Amino acid sequence: MNHAHEGFHNLRNVDDALASFLKSIEHRRLRTELQPLPQCLNRVVADEIIAKNDVPFFDRSVVDGFAVRFSDIEKATEARPVVLEIVGESRLGEIYKGTVPGRCAIAVATGSIMPKGADSVVPIEDVTQSGRRRITFVNGVKLGENILRKGEDVSRGKIVLERGRRVRAQDLGALKTLGINKIRVAKRPRVAVFSTGNELVESFRGKSSYQTVEINRLVLSAKINELGGYTINLGIVKDRKESIIRALRRAVKLSDLVLISGGSSVGQRDLVPSCIDAVGKPGMLVHGVAMRPAMPTGLASVNGIPVISLPGIPVSAMFAFLVFGRPMIAKLAGMNVVPESKLPARTAMPIKGWKGFRTFVRVGLRETADGLIATPVESQRSSVIMSIVKADGFVAVPEDAGEIPAGQMVEVTLFM
Amino acid sequence: MNHAHEGFHNLRNVDDALASFLKSIEHRRLRTELQPLPQCLNRVVADEIIAKNDVPFFDRSVVDGFAVRFSDIEKATEARPVVLEIVGESRLGEIYKGTVPGRCAIAVATGSIMPKGADSVVPIEDVTQSGRRRITFVNGVKLGENILRKGEDVSRGKIVLERGRRVRAQDLGALKTLGINKIRVAKRPRVAVFSTGNELVESFRGKSSYQTVEINRLVLSAKINELGGYTINLGIVKDRKESIIRALRRAVKLSDLVLISGGSSVGQRDLVPSCIDAVGKPGMLVHGVAMRPAMPTGLASVNGIPVISLPGIPVSAMFAFLVFGRPMIAKLAGMNVVPESKLPARTAMPIKGWKGFRTFVRVGLRETADGLIATPVESQRSSVIMSIVKADGFVAVPEDAGEIPAGQMVEVTLFM
């Protein structure tokens, strides 16, 4: 008998399990909506955005100074300065009506539209002004210098934001400049969550209570929220087939993804899976994954809606979510990358994995002169929630590694 | 004359400038509030949180199996198996009333409270059950194995979350388990933002308009929001002393930090600074920083409220915000670290800095087998907003570096 398997006989490799799970929504069409810019921060671009205008719309000065004809000043030197007459100003937000005559200059500010006739701008600090209307140049500029050309920032027809990209603060600015006030983004995935367990209660009932405070919905909601989804909280459900089936039917109807916490361990091993199979096709795709924690995780598809059966233990539920829930939400949200932060670090001590399992070892990070150092947190028991509270992230020890030696570079995935 | 200085004669070093700016709020008391857990995600812990209870409250089994007396099974082997009688079950959420007699076992599930008399748990997959009441052990467990002791996860009196720490999803779970439903967090900093400029308009008026669409408030609001602050948008203000002073007075009254975009360049050089000095003490602390972009940045303190005068050019405004606004908001929010993501990468080509300036070079990142490669985006002009839209982050070239050669490891700060 193999202690490690806790009664699961056909454990699936993590990557295979994830691939079949993601494949189950392959033909699903992305749900999208038009949203005004201020609502689009961190949303995902659903249709690639093409510039319909040039930015800037006119040639503009990029410095405060004087717009001139290059031919007038190109030979200016300390020994043979050139003197021009200031004949006007191209004010911000206006256009200079005339044409710059020879041996004349027009005052410009950063952003001023280039006056007709001028082809270069000399910065204010490179000239000497004498009186109100005369300026002296001692060194020239290059032809066309200090000008931002029409369309140089964004040119009409070019892609501004690619499909699947997360919208950042500066992207909103670029869109607004282009006259785009709404964009089509992916709808936020709806994730239904419920927990099963007769021992579970909604809140703390004192330290002499034998019952367990249910925390997975709170933690999962927060993670779902971080990823841009929103949670439909379907409560705590008793460990009874009819109750679970009823909750699951409702969940599948309301959401794009269902997370069921609990009811996946050996004792109750087939309770949630058998309910899943009873509700729709194809039902369970995977039950039992070669990972630690969260080995009893189940992955399913019920009439097109992906379902994850997460272990009830909070640490295991977290890893089942990170490994399967996060990429599924990213895909449902149309993201072209799964949002996660990884940092390279050096191991402070050997990091032990379970042979044959992908082992998620929780680590703390410490900055040193030689870079980040990763140290496993004291307890790695999945029953210890402080193992993920004290940790900054985790190292995934590969199935065939056994142990990562001290002093080795590893990738640490941060808890967000 | 030094072209690079654009009329600023006493540029302050970036670090010095930031240090004096942060020092201006040194004696400020952190504003705090009690919040229920679901509102606390990403908020900052204001008072360190101490466990008032042990977790778990009882010794619990961490596996499905059988609670036994170690002395009964310690000598079990394949050759000499031990047979025990199952005399009861410690159900989840309940307590087993009796005491486990010798040569007997009590069925337990993961999380069951340990029945009196038992001191070890044998996992279900390590035993053979014959009939309803007999189980056979062929190998023992260690004394006390598979039990999570009272207080082993969190012990009473221990610190659960430190002051200044950002609250993550799993932290909420730990607090809820401890019976903590509200915690004291830092109030979200209020950041007042207004833009000055006669040429500015609220929205796009067609590509033949000479006016400039104001985008800095939109972009800055998004950045403020990412950092957990909230924005008080005070609109666009004309380039007139009375208008700016009026807006600034209002801003200082309403907020914890004021951002003024525009009015800091050479042409209008003293407009915003002179208004700041007119409104309160000590007024301007720094005007002109040895950085590019955003050299004309001003830092001030008006009757205890920090004020940043940001250049109006969006790219410059972004860097003035990242370098000075972000750490100030982090401090106002009571964070013990400034939230920023940095990744090591190798330069694809030489990265040029301006001698004497800290130069923020916008780069794209590309993943390769040898790690991340950083390539400067095509245009580094501060007038080109696409330089920050196309970039994943930036490299800060030190003041004395001149140029970072190709192939060197650098730190890339990600745009969030």
Task: Please compute the mean of the pLDDT values over residues B263-286 and round it to a whole number.
Answer: 85
Q: Report the C-alpha gap between A372 and B343 in whole angstroms.
A: 11
Do B182 and B194 lie in a common domain? no
DSSP classification of residue B5: G
Which of A42, A110, A295, A326 should one mutate to test binding to chain B, selecting the residue with the greatest count of B CBs within 10 A? A110
Cα–Cα distance measured from residue A116 to residue A104, given in angstroms and rounded to the nearest whole number: 12
Considering the domain architecture, whether residues A218 and A362 belong to the same structural domain is answered as no
Q: Average model confidence (pLDDT) for chain B?
A: 93
> Residue A97 has what pLDDT?
93
Q: Is the model's pLDDT at A205 over the cut of 80?
A: yes
The one-letter code for the residue type at A160 is V
Contact A384 B223 (CB under 8 A): no
What is the pLDDT at residue B269? Answer: 59
A256 and A363 belong to one structural domain: no
Q: Do A235 and A308 belong together in one domain?
A: yes
Q: What mean pLDDT, rounded, does chain A reach?
A: 93
Report CB contact under 8 Å: B212, A160: no
Per the domain annotation, does B337 fall within a domain?
no
Query: Amino acid letter at A84?
Result: L
Pick from B109, B148, B216: CB nearest A383: B148
pLDDT tens figures, A98-114:
999 999 999 999 899 99
Boundary-marking domain end, from B120, B148, B176? B148
- For residue A114, the tally of other CB atoms under 10 A from its CB is 25
Higher model confidence: residue A95 or residue B270?
Answer: A95
Question: Which residues in chain A have Cβ-Cβ distances shorter than 8 Å to B160?
Answer: 386, 389
Mean pLDDT value across residues B354-380: 95
Over residues B328-343, the mean pLDDT reads 94
Question: Pick from A225, A186, A220: which is nearest to A335 by CA?
Answer: A186
Residue A2 has pLDDT above 90, yes or no: no
Identify whether B112 is part of a domain: yes
Interchain CB contacts (distance < 8 Å): A and B: 266
Domain count, chain B: 4
Chain B residues touching residue A382 (CB < 8 angstroms): 62
Lowest mean pLDDT among A49-63, B49-63, B194-208, B209-223: B194-208
Whether residue A265 has pLDDT greater than 70: no
Please report the beta strands in A162-261, taking only residues with DSSP state E, as ranges in sequence order: 182-186, 190-196, 200-201, 212-213, 230-237, 257-261
Classify residue B269: in a domain, yes or no.
Answer: yes
CATH code of the domain covering residue B310: 3.40.980.10
Same structural domain, A45 and A171: yes
Q: A-chain residues within 8 Å CB-CB of B122?
A: none
Q: Considering only alpha carbons, which residue of chain A is nearest residue B153?
A: A384
Q: Is residue A337 part of a domain?
A: no
Q: Show residues of chain A in contact with B268, CB under 8 Å.
A: 109
In this predicted structure, the answer to whether residue A412 has a pLDDT above a threshold of 80 is yes
Residue B252 has pLDDT above 60, yes or no: yes
Give the angle B33-B36-B38 at the CA atoms, nearest 5°. 125
Residue A77, chain B, CB below 8 Å: the answer is: no
Report the distance separating Cα A170 and Cα B315, nearest Å: 9
Write down which residue in B313, B332, B351 finishes a domain.
B332
Q: Do both B323 and B288 map to the same domain?
A: yes
Higher pLDDT, A125 or A202: A202
pLDDT tens across B136-181, in order? 988 768 999 999 999 999 999 999 999 999 999 999 999 999 999 9
Angle (CA) A242-A248-A249 rounded to 5° is 90
Structure tokens at B270: 């003293």
Kind and range of the H or E run holding A73: helix A70-73
Residue B401 near residue B356 (C-beta atoms within 8 A): no
The two structure tokens encoding residue A103: 């041996």
Mean pLDDT of A222-250: 96
- The pLDDT, as a whole number, for residue B268 is 58
Q: How far apart are CA B393 and CA B362, in angstroms?
A: 6
Instruction: Specify the range with the lowest mean pLDDT, choosing from A207-221, A380-394, B41-55, B254-268.
Output: B254-268
Q: Which of A51-60, A133-142, B371-380 has the lowest mean pLDDT?
A: A133-142
Decide if A169 is inside a domain: yes
Give the model's confidence band at A1: pLDDT under 50 very low, under 70 low, under 90 confident, else very high: very low
- Which pLDDT score, from 0 to 100, does residue A68 have? 95
* Shared-domain flag, residues B199 and B321: yes
Cα–Cα distance for residue pair A387/A360, rounded to 1 Å = 11
Closest-CA distance, A283 to chain B, in angstroms, reads 26
Q: Which residues between 323 and 352 in chain A have a beta carbon less than 8 angstroms from any beta carbon of chain B?
A: 341, 343-344
- Percent with pLDDT over 70 in chain B: 96
How far, in whole angstroms, is CA A331 from its chain's centroid?
Answer: 12
| CATH classification at residue B384 | 2.40.340.10
Residue (of B93, B36, B19, B103) closest to B68 by Cα position: B103
Question: How confident is residue A416, by pLDDT bands cut at 50, 70 and 90?
Answer: confident
pLDDT band for A4, please (50, 70, 90 cuts).
very low
Q: How far apart are CA A329 and CA A336, in angstroms?
A: 12
Residue B247 resides in a domain: yes
The beta strand positions in B251-385, using DSSP E, are 257-261, 282-287, 291-292, 298-302, 305-310, 342-347, 351-352, 358-368, 371-376
B74 falls within a domain: yes
**Smallest Cα–Cα separation from A335: which of A219, A223, A187?**
A187
Q: Is residue B246 part of a domain?
A: yes
Mean pLDDT of A206-216: 90
First CA to last CA distance, chain B: 38
The shares of helix, strand and coil residues in chain B, as percent rounded to the nearest 5, are 20, 35, 45
Residue B105 CA to residue B118 CA, distance in Å, equals: 8
pLDDT band at B265 (very low <50, low <70, confident <90, very high): low
Contact yes or no for A218 and B62 at CB 8 A: no
Residue B285 has pLDDT above 90, yes or no: yes
Residue B23 burial (C-beta neighbours within 10 Å; 0-12, 13-18, 19+): exposed
Chain B residue with the nearest C-alpha to that of A65: B267
What pLDDT was estimated at residue A268? 58
Does the predicted interface ipTM exceed a cut of 0.90?
yes
Instruction: Check whether residue B66 and residue B76 sit in a common domain.
Output: yes
Same domain membership, residue A209 and residue A325 = yes
B122 by Cβ neighbours in 10 Å (0-12 / 13-18 / 19+) ranks as buried
Which tokens go with B354? 């301006």
Chain A from 32 to 51: CB within 8 A of any B CB: 37-38, 41
Beta bridge partner(s), residue B84? B135
Retrieve residue B334's tokens: 């009571």
B300 bridge partner residues: B284, B307
Q: How far is B15 from chain A (nearest CA, A)?
A: 20
Residue B88 confidence class, pLDDT cut points 50, 70, 90: very high
Q: Could you say which residues from 116 to 145 on chain B have a Cβ atom under 8 Å away from some Cβ of chain A?
A: 123-126
Query: Cα separation of B337 and B166, whole Å?
Result: 9
Is the pLDDT assigned to residue B272 strictly greater than 50?
Answer: yes
At A3 the pLDDT is 38
Q: Which of A177, A199, A204 sits opposite B93 (nearest CB)?
A: A199
- Point out which residues pair with A307 in neighbouring strands: A258, A300
Task: Give, as one character, the DSSP assignment of residue A379.
Answer: -
pLDDT at position A348 over 60 = yes
Phi and psi torsions of B167, nearest 5°: -85, 125
Least confident of A169-178, B6-15, B251-260: B6-15
Q: What is the pLDDT of residue A7?
A: 61
Q: Where are the alpha helices (DSSP H) in B191-348?
A: 216-226, 241-254, 271-279, 314-320, 326-332
- For A197, the closest chain B residue by CA position comes to B92
Mutation choice for A interface testing from B9, B11, B110, B113 by most A CBs within 10 A: B110
A256-270, A305-319, B393-407: which range is least confident on average?
A256-270
Chain A closest-CA separation from residue B339 CA (Å): 11
**Which residue among B41, B153, B267 sits closest to A386, beta carbon to beta carbon?**
B153
Kindly state the tokens that stand for A111: 């952003």
Q: Return the half-sphere exposure (C-beta side, CA atoms, 13 A cut-off) of residue A56.
A: 22
Residues B181 and B324 grouped into a single domain? no
Cα B181 from Cα B36, distance rounded (Å): 6
* Interface mutation target, options B62, B92, B147, chain A, most CBs of A under 10 Å: B92
Report the pLDDT value the prediction gives residue B375, as an integer from 0 to 100: 98
Sort out which chain B residues have CB atoms less than 8 A from A220's CB and list them: 169
Domain range holding A81? 60-148
Task: Determine, for residues A64 and B6 on separate chains, whether the beta-carbon distance falls below 8 Å.
Answer: yes
B300 close to A (CB below 8 A)? no
Q: Report how far residue A153's alpha carbon sits from residue B73's, in angstroms, rounded to the nearest whole number.
A: 77
Q: What average pLDDT does this structure show over B283-291?
A: 96
Asked if B37 and B342 touch (Cβ cutoff 8 Å), the reply is no
For residues A244 and A373, membership in a common domain is answered with: no
pLDDT at residue B6, as a whole number: 54
Shared domain check, A201 and A162: no
Those of residues 235-264 in A touching chain B at CB distance below 8 A are none
Residue B22 burial by CB count (10 A; 0-12/13-18/19+): exposed, middle or buried?
middle
Q: Which of B96, B122, B148 is the last residue of a domain?
A: B148
Distance from CA of A127 to the nearest CA of B (A): 9
| Dist. CA A71–CA A68, nearest whole Å | 9
pLDDT class for A138, splitting at 50, 70, 90?
confident
Return the CATH number at B79.
2.170.190.11
Kindly report the pTM of this predicted structure: 0.94
Q: What percent of chain A has pLDDT over 70?
A: 96
Q: Is A406 on the interface with B (CB under 8 A)?
A: no
B226-254 average pLDDT score: 96
Nearest Cα neighbor of A363 from A383, A336, A342 is A342
Q: State how far the alpha carbon of B34 is from the alpha carbons of A143, B40, B180, B334, in Å.
A: 62, 9, 12, 15
